[in-house]
Amino acid sequence: MSKINHILEASQFGIEEIERIFRMSRSLSSIDAYRLTQVLPGKTLACVFYEPSTRTSASFIAAMTKLGGGVIPITQGVQYSSVSKGETLEDTVITLGQYADAIVLRHPEVGSAARAASVSPVPIINAGDGIGEHPTQALLDLYTIENEVGRSNGVEVCFVGDLANGRTVHSLLRLLSMYPGNRFHLVSPQPLTIVGRPLYEEVRGSIGDVVYVKRSLSEAREVLRRSDVVYMTRVQKERFGDPKEYDELKDSCLLTKELVSSLKDETRILHPLPRVNEIPTSIDSDPRAAYFRQVKSGLYVRMSLLRYVMTT
């Protein structure tokens, strides 16, 4: 049996393979609409989301459609699927694998994508497994960094916000730590840190400053000023057992126009989105705000990834 190209975690790719995927993303972004539809004609992608999504689901659907394929969208809530009747993840995946050539899966449990891959007859693309990983987001984040900063090594990245629960942070840290010379600053309130967790040990050699914010993000002004990339995240409300704890932490790391004005001109602000209130809309027009360009990059990187899982 030939090998199935699952995408389960950010560190599964080698640097050369990532460069191939990015070269394909660039070339797909410049092909005319008609020729694009000849890339995956007749192929079908199932999108199964057990958690809410706007960008990830929409970009995969748009990517598949532009490449000439079709989509089975179970993205409006699995409550409308047989999951609500008690069907297991495994049975859902095996079933969808009879109709589709790949399955994009978002699920609240860490390890769910690997579980799905162990029974799936077609590639599984992990679109977020709880607080675990979100590898396609990390790849599009890295692609954005390459486009915006001009390189993927020797970059100082300041991660801000909910580093404990943010799966995009976890995947991007793993991915960036494969490249030489990258340095990570960690800025969060103390309860939302990754210090002391297994991931911290994995990337420890690349950690620069750790700042525990008590009242406001301006306490991290110095590291923000030194960074090439400021990677903002929202505090992940849905991961808190105690709403009081969320309320205490939710406004701890808010970016302000004044803080942005103290960044280097070349610094880029990224955010996987959705934002809540950590970036005011008044910052959107600043040339350093790259998060909507990051959204656009997601389309091309996901097109390239769909081609990769369905044709190689």
Report, in angstroms and rounded to the nearest whole number, the Rg of the chain calculated over CA atoms: 19
**128 lies in the site for ligand NCD, by CB under 6 A:** yes
The CA–CA distances, whole Å, from 215 to 156, 192, 243 equal 24, 14, 19
Among 56, 75, 92, 233, the one annotated catalytic: 56
Residue 55 or 288 having the CB closest to ligand NCD = 55
Nearest Cα to Cα of residue 126 among 143, 142, 144, 103: 103
Among 6, 134, 167, 307, the one annotated catalytic: 134
264 catalytic per annotation:
no
Residue of 69, 97, 132, 272 interacting with ligand NCD (CB under 6 A): 272
Residue 168 or 297 having the CB closest to ligand NCD = 168
What is the smallest separation between the CB atom of 123 and ligand NCD, expressed in angstroms? 19
How far apart are alpha carbons 279 and 274 in whole angstroms? 10
Helix pair 135-149, 167-176: axis angle to 10 deg: 60
Cα-Cα-Cα-Cα dihedral sign, residues 1, 138, 285, 23: negative
55 catalytic per annotation:
yes
Question: What burial class does residue 127 get, using C-beta atoms within 10 Å of its C-beta: 0-12 exposed, 13-18 middle, 19+ buried?
Answer: buried
What is the smallest separation between the CB atom of 265 and ligand NCD, expressed in angstroms? 26
85 catalytic per annotation:
yes
How is residue 199 written in tokens? 């991931």
What is the smallest separation between the CB atom of 259 and ligand NCD, expressed in angstroms? 20
Q: Which stretch binds ligand NCD (CB under 6 A): 97-105, 144-152, 229-237, 299-307?
A: 229-237
Residue 120 or 126 having the CB closest to ligand NCD = 126
106 catalytic per annotation:
yes
56 catalytic per annotation:
yes
Cα-Cα-Cα-Cα dihedral sign, residues 183, 187, 190, 191: negative
Residues of this chain that interact with ligand NCD (CB under 6 A) are 55-56, 128, 134, 137, 167-168, 233-234, 236, 272-273
List residues with catalytic annotation: 55-56, 85, 106, 134
